[in-house]
Amino acid sequence: MSAAEKIAMGIVSIGMITTLILPGRQTPAVINAFTKLFRGSLATAMGTGVKV
């Protein structure tokens, strides 16, 4: 890829990421939910999870 193509790709990528995390969107909440699910599963597997 040429330098111009890489720059254009970077601009498009930043635009897409910005669109996903704009205020009023649910994307951050969904990402946090998946993160908590992964961390909770890992903590349970290691035996360090919070006891219920």
Q: What is the mean pLDDT of each run of 10 residues along the chain (52 residues)?
A: 92 87 78 86 80 58
In the chain, the amino acid numbered 21 is I
At 48 the three-state DSSP class reads coil
| pLDDT at residue 5, as a whole number | 94
Count of Cβ atoms closer than 10 Å to residue 49 Cβ: 13
| pLDDT at residue 1, as a whole number | 79
DSSP labels, 1-28: --HHHHHHHHHHHHHHHHHHTSTT-SHH
